[in-house]
């Protein structure tokens, strides 16, 4: 039995960051004293953020932290923060690992284990992300399906990459109560009970128990008490050790394998409705991620003569990683935390917009003609602008987008072969889980659905939706752009989209993946099976596609696709609700999560869609060309490309990194190759492969 003393440290959750920081500083002070006195090891939750938060307050303790990390008495990394995997982009996961491992190695030694203890499910591509960072082992809790009945299993990504994964069958807090047993016999009995609890899941005689809980410090007397209790545990060898020491052991033959995402609540509640809590933040995160990944970094990397703004981009990424933490990104926190998250998105946005403005101004001075400079962030041509290129046009060009005529019929709005309406229903759940007020309740249609030309208005008592339907030239997607005016609490508002037939499942966007899903996830008596799922940017059901700038919640019900536009609830958690008969957190009131006021939204819809059009459609929907005045007078032509990039692989990022130009691509197909050409180099990506291609900057200039 390996006991790993640890803390699970949320930077912010039911209290704001500064309140938890007041607890972190004395905890770390005492931990350093204890480690110097001989305490064998303490696991710092797989994050470097809490170390840096401590050192921001206690900079004089950095030599002590370095010494203890180097000696293996404190763990560091591999992540900056424990991010929600579905609400953050694939690029965010890559940067989280990259920055976390770099910082941990700078401190002396990195924990090279994909420790993922409390995320609300896990993306299918995580094994490939870990392997590409050099990590071969993972540790998870939530989301493991009933089919996996072993504490060790192989977890495979859709490309076939796999990591040996340790399953914390009874959470990261199984040993969190051991500090209560001061008597050796009591401690021995407690350890025996835990061994019996975990025993049925063990593929070998090796057992992992994490000793700690949320925002806890070390149990200083554990080694001493354990030495007294161990003689009372014949046949059970116990050590206090690190996570790395436990997983660094030969693996038995015959381990079970799971391929793809982990989104089951068979043995732990998954908390599936965080994806609709504080909906405005989900949209803003998607927009800011796109701003940094697809505009600021590519322009800064590719515009000739433009200096790489490393410090500003590092700051933007740090803000995104902090905001990506599972309690922060999910919106399931104190209202002040939500306001802090908004402020950090605003700062990251300002950084990105500043870099884009400066880079476009620089490019605008390099072109020969004056006029309106347009930059296309997509790898393919759009509206006459080359992929990852520019075009100078006469100033004063009319904005794109023409009204789409809408007709009301039978309580539905019809436009361009699509039909949609709205449904609103009571929600007596919390920030984690939707819950009906009556088990058989059905959504209420609007009291009035008014259509005038391309404008639609839906009203209920205390609730109004106004939107306009437009289409940009040459696009197959229609855009529903609107605002919700909400004046009442405890309800869920959804957009209902009619499908041409009943759907048996869906295809949805996820980081570095388009994944096929069933109608309902696996549930248990811990949490009801959930029909709602998160989608990153796109979802397809029965040939109808929907598009969003960030992550949104969807459900397929018969011949309808339903998208959650707003969920209004007033507490972090409730003690017990029919959809989750256990508390998932404290009952902290969150009146601002009732979303009283106005909330803007934008949804794209397309009929007769297919898997192949989803990502190009999304690029056109969510990544408009960037525009700026061109002063002219330079040597570059009026039309050109900053980087040659062609093919059917999807683009994740373009940046300068360690003296090279780095382009990250991924294959959205899991059943065949994708081909690309980058700066004259032909690439073939295997099914579902993520590929990072590097080119020397000097060679690119030549």
Q: Running DSSP on this structure, what letter comes out for residue 634?
A: S
Q: Is the separation of the CB atoms in 570 and 461 below 8 Å?
A: no
What's phi and psi for 636, nearest 5 deg?
-80, 150
Partnered with residue 683 across adjacent β-strands are: 676
Round the average pLDDT of the chain to a whole number and report it: 96
Domain co-membership, 567 together with 680: no
Alpha-helix runs per DSSP H in 126-269 = 126-132, 184-198, 222-229, 243-247
State yes or no: pLDDT of 400 exceeds 90.
no
Report the C-alpha gap between 102 and 81 in whole angstroms: 13
Domain co-membership, 540 together with 666: no
pLDDT band at 697 (very low <50, low <70, confident <90, very high): confident
Report the candidate in 211, 208, 292 with the shortest Cα–Cα distance to residue 1: 208
Lowest mean pLDDT among 18-22, 83-87, 394-398, 539-543: 394-398
Q: Please tell me the predicted confidence (pLDDT) of residue 398.
A: 59
Domain co-membership, 605 together with 685: no
Q: What percent of the chain has pLDDT over 90?
A: 98
Residue 218 C-alpha from the chain's centroid: 30
Q: Please tell me the predicted confidence (pLDDT) of residue 699.
A: 60
Mean pLDDT (whole number) for 540-565: 98
Residue 451 within any structural domain of the chain = yes
Q: % helix / strand / coil in the chain, to the nearest 5?
A: 30, 30, 40
Residue 168 within any structural domain of the chain = yes
Q: Please tell me the predicted confidence (pLDDT) of residue 702.
A: 45
Mean pLDDT (whole number) for 413-418: 96
Domain co-membership, 420 together with 545: yes
Q: Is the separation of the CB atoms in 187 and 178 below 8 Å?
A: yes
Report the C-alpha gap between 535 and 519 in whole angstroms: 13
| Angle, vertex CA 246, rays to CA 245 and CA 250, nearest 5 | 100
Domain co-membership, 425 together with 558: yes
Alpha-carbon distance values, 496 to 257, 558, 564 (Å): 37, 11, 9
Output the domain CATH number for residue 139. Answer: 3.20.110.10
Report the C-alpha gap between 163 and 165 in whole angstroms: 6
Q: The tokens of 377 are what?
A: 């962030």
Report the C-alpha gap between 649 and 669 in whole angstroms: 9
CB-based contacts of 346, cutoff 8 Å, min separation 6: none
- Chain segment 601-645, per-residue pLDDT in tens: 999 999 999 999 999 999 999 999 999 999 999 999 999 999 999
Give the domain-ending residue among 190, 223, 250.
250
Domain co-membership, 474 together with 602: yes
Output the domain CATH number for residue 484. Answer: 2.70.98.30
Residue 283 within any structural domain of the chain = no
Mean pLDDT (whole number) for 557-585: 97
DSSP string of 156-173?
E-TTS-EEEEEE-TT-TT
pLDDT band at 231 (very low <50, low <70, confident <90, very high): very high
Residue 510 within any structural domain of the chain = yes
pLDDT band at 399 (very low <50, low <70, confident <90, very high): low
Domain of 674 in residue numbering reads as 644-702
Residue 20 within any structural domain of the chain = no
Q: Is the separation of the CB atoms in 20 and 49 below 8 Å?
A: no
Residue 352 within any structural domain of the chain = no
Active site residue 118: yes
Q: Is the separation of the CB atoms in 45 and 82 below 8 Å?
A: yes
Number of H helices, E strands in the chain: 15, 33
Domain co-membership, 243 together with 177: yes
- Chain segment 323-342, per-residue pLDDT in tens: 999 999 999 999 999 999 99
Nearest 10 degrees: CA dihedral of 188, 193, 196, 198?
-100
Give the domain-ending residue among 225, 250, 275.
250
DSSP string of 277-323?
BTHHHHHHHHHHHHIIIIIIHHHHHHSTTPPP-HHHHHHHHHHHHHH
Domain co-membership, 480 together with 588: yes
Q: Please tell me the predicted confidence (pLDDT) of residue 701.
A: 55
State yes or no: pLDDT of 4 exceeds 90.
yes
Report the C-alpha gap between 382 and 387 in whole angstroms: 7
Domain co-membership, 406 together with 441: yes
Partnered with residue 534 across adjacent β-strands are: 553
Residue 68 within any structural domain of the chain = no
Report the C-alpha gap between 149 and 202 in whole angstroms: 8
| Angle, vertex CA 597, rays to CA 596 and CA 602, nearest 5 | 110
Domain co-membership, 586 together with 682: no
Residue 465 within any structural domain of the chain = yes
Q: Is the separation of the CB atoms in 136 and 163 below 8 Å?
A: yes
Whether residue 78 has a cis bond before it, omega within 30° of 0: yes
Q: Please tell me the predicted confidence (pLDDT) of residue 196.
A: 95
State yes or no: pLDDT of 505 exceeds 90.
yes
Mean pLDDT (whole number) for 657-675: 96
What's phi and psi for 244, nearest 5 deg?
-60, -40
Domain co-membership, 481 together with 589: yes
Mean pLDDT (whole number) for 129-133: 98
State yes or no: pLDDT of 64 exceeds 60.
yes
pLDDT band at 473 (very low <50, low <70, confident <90, very high): confident
DSSP 3-state assignment of 139?
strand
The backbone region for 575, taken as left when phi is positive above 0, alpha when psi lies in -120 to 50, beta otherwise, is alpha
Choose the catalytic residue: 10, 84, 118, 219.
118
- Chain segment 194-217, per-residue pLDDT in tens: 999 999 999 999 999 999 999 999
State yes or no: pLDDT of 185 exceeds 50.
yes
State yes or no: pLDDT of 318 exceeds 90.
yes
Q: Is the separation of the CB atoms in 338 and 278 below 8 Å?
A: yes
The total domain count for the chain is 3
Output the domain CATH number for residue 660. Answer: 2.30.18
Domain co-membership, 697 together with 559: no
pLDDT band at 485 (very low <50, low <70, confident <90, very high): very high
Mean pLDDT (whole number) for 477-505: 98
Give the domain-ending residue among 250, 273, 294.
250
615 sits in which H/E element: helix 614-622
Q: Up-side HSE of residue 387: CA atoms within 13 Å toward CB?
A: 18
Report the candidate in 31, 701, 30, 53 with the shortest Cα–Cα distance to residue 318: 53
- Chain segment 572-582, per-residue pLDDT in tens: 999 999 999 99
Mean pLDDT (whole number) for 379-406: 89
Report the C-alpha gap between 3 and 286 in whole angstroms: 39
Residue 75 C-alpha from the chain's centroid: 24
């Amino acid at each position: 039995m390996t006991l790993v003393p640890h803390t699970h440290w949320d930077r912010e959750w039911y209290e704001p960051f500064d309140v938890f920081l007041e607890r972190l500083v004395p905890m770390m002070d005492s931990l350093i004293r204890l480690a110097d006195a001989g305490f064998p090891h303490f696991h710092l939750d797989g994050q470097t953020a809490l170390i840096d938060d401590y050192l921001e307050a206690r900079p004089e303790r950095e030599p002590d932290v370095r010494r203890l990390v180097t000696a293996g008495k404190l763990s560091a990394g591999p992540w900056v923060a424990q991010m929600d995997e579905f609400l953050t982009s694939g690029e965010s996961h890559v940067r989280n690992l990259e920055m976390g491992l770099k910082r941990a190695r700078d401190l002396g030694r990195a924990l090279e284990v994909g420790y993922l203890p409390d995320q609300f499910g896990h993306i299918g591509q995580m094994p490939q992300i870990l392997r590409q960072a050099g990590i071969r082992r993972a540790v998870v809790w939530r989301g493991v399906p009933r089919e996996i009945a072993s504490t060790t299993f192989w977890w495979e990504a859709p490309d076939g990459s796999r990591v040996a994964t340790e399953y914390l069958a009874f959470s990261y807090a199984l040993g969190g109560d051991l500090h209560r047993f001061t008597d050796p016999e009591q401690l021995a009995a407690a350890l025996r009970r835990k061994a019996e609890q975990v025993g049925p899941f063990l593929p070998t005689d090796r057992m992992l128990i994490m000793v700690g809980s949320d925002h806890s410090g070390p149990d200083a007397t554990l080694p001493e008490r354990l030495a007294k209790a161990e003689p009372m545990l014949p046949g059970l060898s116990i050590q206090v050790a690190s996570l790395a020491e436990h997983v660094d052991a030969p693996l038995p033959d015959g381990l079970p394998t799971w391929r793809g995402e982990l989104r089951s609540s068979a043995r732990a509640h998954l908390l599936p409705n965080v994806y609709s809590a504080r909906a405005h933040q989900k949209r803003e995160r998607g927009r800011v991620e796109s701003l940094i990944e697809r505009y600021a970094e590519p322009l800064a990397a590719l515009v000739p003569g433009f200096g790489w703004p490393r410090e500003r981009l590092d700051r933007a990424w740090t803000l995104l990683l902090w905001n990506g933490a599972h309690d922060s990104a999910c919106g399931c926190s104190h209202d002040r935390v939500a306001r802090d998250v908004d402020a950090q998105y605003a700062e990251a946005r300002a950084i990105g917009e500043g870099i884009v403005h400066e880079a476009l101004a620089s490019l605008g001075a390099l072109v020969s003609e004056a006029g309106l400079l347009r930059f296309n962030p997509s790898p393919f041509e759009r509206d006459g602008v080359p992929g990852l290129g520019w075009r100078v046009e006469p100033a004063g060009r009319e904005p794109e987008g023409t009204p789409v005529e809408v007709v009301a019929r039978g309580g539905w709005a019809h436009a361009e072969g699509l039909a949609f309406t709205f449904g609103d229903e009571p929600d007596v759940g919390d920030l984690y889980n939707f819950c009906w007020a009556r088990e058989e309740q059905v959504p209420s249609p609007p009291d009035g659905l008014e259509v005038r030309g391309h404008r639609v208005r839906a009203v209920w008592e205390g609730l109004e939706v106004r939107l306009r339907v437009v289409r940009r030239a040459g696009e197959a997607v229609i855009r529903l752009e609107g605002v919700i005016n909400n004046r009442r609490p405890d309800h869920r508002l959804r957009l209902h989209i009619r499908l041409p037939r009943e759907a048996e499942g869906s295809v949805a966007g996820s980081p570095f993946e388009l994944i096929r899903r069933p109608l309902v996830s696996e549930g248990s008596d811990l949490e009801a099976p959930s029909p709602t799922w998160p989608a990153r940017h796109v979802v397809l059901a029965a040939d109808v596609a929907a598009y969003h700038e960030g992550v949104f919640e969807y459900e397929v019900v018969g011949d309808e696709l339903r998208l959650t536009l707003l969920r209004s609830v007033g507490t972090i958690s409730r003690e017990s609700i029919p959809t989750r008969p256990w508390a998932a957190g404290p009952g902290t009131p969150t009146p601002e999560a009732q979303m009283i006021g106005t909330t803007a939204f934008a949804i794209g819809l397309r009929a007769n869609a297919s898997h192949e059009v989803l990502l190009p459609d999304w690029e056109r929907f969510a990544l408009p060309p960037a525009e700026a005045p061109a002063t002219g007078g330079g040597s570059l032509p009026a039309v050109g490309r900053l980087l040659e990039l062609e093919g059917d692989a999807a683009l994740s990022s373009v940046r300068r990194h360690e003296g090279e130009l780095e382009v990250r691509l991924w294959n959205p197909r899991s059943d065949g190759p994708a081909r690309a050409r980058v700066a004259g180099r032909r690439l073939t990506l295997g099914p579902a492969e993520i590929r990072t291609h590097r080119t020397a900057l000097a060679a690119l200039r030549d």
